[in-house]
Amino acid sequence: MNKTDQLKKDIIALVKKETDVLNSNDDLQIEEVGDGNVNYIYRVTDKSGKSLIVKFADSFIRGSDTRELSTKRNEIEYEILLRQDGLSNGAVPKVYHYSKDMSCIIMEDMHDYKVLREAMMNGETFDHFAKDIATFLYNTLFKTTDLVMDVAEKKEVAGRLVNIDMCEISERLVFTEPYMNNQGLNKYHADNTDFVLEHLYNNDALKTEVAILKNRFMNNTQSMIHGDLHAGSIFINDKDLQVFDPEFSFYGPMGYDIGNVVGSFIISYVTSYYEGKESSYVNWIYDSVISVVDAFIEVYNANYMEDVNTHMFKTESFKKTYLDGILADIAAYAGTEIIRRTVGVAKVWDLERVQDHKDIAHIEKALVSIGETLILNRATMTSGQAYKEVLERFVKEI
Ligand code: SR1
Ligand code: MG
């Protein structure tokens, strides 16, 4: 029996032994359903059609038998899903069982949801998205800071969630390669060679700011962050959303997660604008960028005083200073996300789709310019309106 067939057989045995969601007397069916870069995702189904999902983390990155990757990521993901479940009132898939021996998380199959990325590919819009994701972000990020959480528990959890291999990927792909191209894997339109040299590789002012952001990413143990929060990590339907896939999770700056959401929506906005997608869809993405920032500010301001546990932090001036720091990080990490997806090796669906577009060189320039502006002017990005001005400036100028 080959390795994959043996794994499938072992997974079915694990599901039968450790869970009671499916009918164990049935001949259970198993199929691979994931298309991610890192792990293997299987759906296991019984005869009545009931199903669950098994996420298997191999000790090699998906599709490689030479590039090792610690299975600690799976252990961390399991703990994060449990913690986020409690913090977010169930806005993550339910975990049924975790097997450390097999590096498998057995979890809920989100039947009534679509992956947001796939819904967006079909031009679908969701009015509740901005408010719901902002609430999830506040609940899972602000509530895991020292301002809210028991400080001893926070330190203990932060230590346990050190995610060396996955952080190394982000440190390299987000904060180093787009500005250095050490690995020679960066990818952008040939017409932009000089532009990339000037704006990225030879841009010492920007590189210094990105170095500061990289150092913050590595050393600011502020919140229990998801670490890879884009439209491919969110399930959605007309009622609510569920966030999944936190294998890049660790204790880092909360603006990284919020900035990833904002940055990935900015990429979607710019690409769909140039593709000439339906205006209702383009406008929804544009409004979402602005609303996510404003909704986060709103939920923060509404809950801060009640949630914070220490008198020293319970002042209006500290509340504002702390928020200003988060807002600057949101802009900066939105900027690094936009730049790395535009010129780096790990593209995203919406950018892949426009690789042959006649305006691809312009689209790349607009995105890099927006990213650069957000990083360099992060202290001024204190509201949704500020994002509106940046988007209008760069999308109209081209
Ligand atoms: C090798 S992993 C490449 C990228 O895919 C993941 O989803 C992360 O965004 C990572 O940077
Ligand atoms: Mg992922």
- Per-residue model confidence as pLDDT tens digits over 215-267: 999 999 999 999 999 999 999 999 999 999 999 999 999 999 999 999 999 99
| pLDDT cut 70: percent of the chain above it | 99
Testing ligand 1's pocket by substitution, the residue of 173, 175, 264, 340 carrying the most ligand atoms inside 8 A of its CB is 173
| Alpha-carbon distances of 221 from 62, 152, 254, 256, 355, rounded to whole Å | 29, 13, 9, 12, 37
Q: Label the pairing between strands 223-225 and 250-252.
A: antiparallel
Average pLDDT value for residue range 167-179: 98
Nearest-5° Cα angle at 195, 194 to 200: 105
Q: What is the pLDDT of residue 395?
A: 92
**Atom 6, ligand 1: which residue's CA is nearest?**
37
Ligand 1 near 345 CB (within 6 A): no
Q: For 45-58, how does the pLDDT look when each residue is reduced to its tens digit (9 = 90+)?
A: 999 999 999 999 99
Question: Is the Cβ atom of 247 under 6 angstroms away from ligand 1?
Answer: no
CB atoms within 10 A of CB 240: 17
User: Which pLDDT belongs to residue 54?
Assistant: 98
Parallel/antiparallel/unpaired status of strands 95-99 and 51-56: unpaired
In this predicted structure, the answer to whether residue 1 has a pLDDT above a threshold of 90 is no
Tens of pLDDT, residue by residue over 85-122, are: 999 999 999 999 999 999 999 999 999 999 999 999 99
Beta bridge mates, 31: 43
Q: What is the Å distance from ligand 2's center to 150 Cα?
A: 29
The dihedral over CA atoms of 54, 58, 61, 65, expressed in degrees to the nearest 10, equals -130
Rounded to a whole number of angstroms, the distance between the first and last alpha carbons of the chain is: 57
pLDDT computed for residue 397 by the predictor? 54
Q: Is the pLDDT of residue 139 over 90?
A: yes
Residue-wise pLDDT for 312-365, tens only, equals: 999 999 999 999 999 999 999 999 999 999 999 998 999 999 999 999 999 999
Mean pLDDT of the chain: 96
